[in-house]
Amino acid sequence: MLYKSLLTLSLATTATLARTVKRDIHKGFGDVDTLVVFGDSYTDEGRLGYMQNNGGALPPANFVPSQGAIDGTSTGGKQWSRIATEANGDKLINYAVAGAVCSNNLTPRYSPGIFGLFPSVNEYEVPQFKKEHTMTRYSGTGNLNPDKTVFAIWIGTNDLGNGALLTDEHLPGVTLPDYTDCVVNQIQTLYDYGARKFVVLNDVPLERAPQYTQNGPNHYFPERDTYLGGNMTAISQKIGTNVRASNQILKYQLPYLADTLNGAKVALLDVYSLFQDIFAHPQNYLDAPYNTTGYPFRCATAADCATWTNTLLPNVGAYMWYDELHPSVKTSTAVANEYVKTLTKDSTYATYYF
């Protein structure tokens, strides 16, 4: 499958970013006015919440999240995509679903809260976009100009984590290249539909996330302390190996695909390295006293975690992680900054295939 795909295939910062992006509309991705995003809880602004509050029903066409959902995401505040689009005055269209994987044909994950599988990028998010929008240079309801629209995909945290590849709960025969194939196939699908500008964000160093480094009660991996005998070193090493391997595969797959997409602009944003820099140099990103290993949004017991009875510690801006698995607003702001720089081909964390 891999061989086949290789061949065929807050305020001051935002003001500064806005000036940067408008500096030269002919550089990088050019004059962009819309960002369309696909992904999981690192990007979701309320789609999963809508399903949980409506008996598992999918959001209506052209779903618009509430302001509460926008301001209170998995980061404890706004998501990277919202921060970025507010910085440069762009429109955001968000199809991400918390809990999602790239494809339920590879790593299906069941959610009791919605009485079914988490909707995935391949089976729900991208098809839903195609139902609601047409790629054309003509103005009109539902029309998006391919010259001014960037499509960003950030998916993998759930695919590689517990309940999927980490704990061998994938469908028979599924391997890491199948997951990366799925990611690049979304680019091909969107290109065939008319999209021309793409940013792919790779996987973050989950081996540093508290979920995979620390024992104790948690929200998302309740059986963690019995998995691999509760050996956190082994768990961290295993998911770290999966993350690095996937990123390396994607690093070589994406340029092969990009070479076949006539007229497209594709960039790979290396958020893995960005997160590593936040860990190594927190003073450049976080408030003092810097905390790159703990998290402020926590539950005290397994029962509290299951019922979402939580405590929020003070000085949230000091943390790299908001809870066991999700980046904080400060970390998400760093991602937003690099995305905006990517548009003008100024990010040192991005590789450009155009």
pLDDT of residue 354: 96
Comparing 2-11, 80-89, 237-246, 269-278, the range with the smallest average pLDDT is 2-11
pLDDT confidence band for 26 (50 / 70 / 90): low
Give per-residue pLDDT as tens, 37-59: 999 999 999 999 999 999 999 99
pLDDT of residue 3: 34
> What is the percent of the chain where pLDDT is above 90?
92
**Average pLDDT in the chain:** 93
Ramachandran angles phi, psi of 142, nearest 5°:
85, -5
* 131-147 residues labelled b (16+ CB within 10 A) or e (exposed): eebebeeeeeeeebbbe
pLDDT of residue 268: 98
Residue 268, domain extent: 2-289+329-345
pLDDT confidence band for 4 (50 / 70 / 90): very low
In a domain, 49, yes or no: yes
pLDDT tops 90 at residue 344: yes
In a domain, 306, yes or no: no
**Total domain count for the chain?**
1
pLDDT of residue 25: 52
Biggest alpha carbon–alpha carbon distance for the chain: 59
pLDDT tops 50 at residue 323: yes
In a domain, 353, yes or no: no
Give per-residue pLDDT as tens, 187-244: 999 999 999 999 999 999 999 999 999 999 999 999 999 999 999 999 999 999 999 9
In a domain, 308, yes or no: no
For residue 242 the two structure tokens come to 């999966």
pLDDT of residue 27: 83
For residue 216, the domain's CATH number is 3.40.50.1110
In a domain, 317, yes or no: no
Q: What is the mean pLDDT of residues 168-193?
A: 98
Q: Which residues pair with 38 in a beta bridge?
A: 153
Give the other-Cβ count within 10 Å of 89's Cβ: 11
In a domain, 149, yes or no: yes
pLDDT tops 90 at residue 68: yes
The β-bridge relationship of strands 110-111 and 91-94 is unpaired
In a domain, 71, yes or no: yes
CA–CA dist 41, 351 (Å, integer) = 24
> What is the percent of the chain where pLDDT is above 70?
93
pLDDT of residue 11: 39
In a domain, 252, yes or no: yes
pLDDT tops 90 at residue 23: no
Give per-residue pLDDT as tens, 258-286: 999 999 999 999 999 999 999 999 999 99
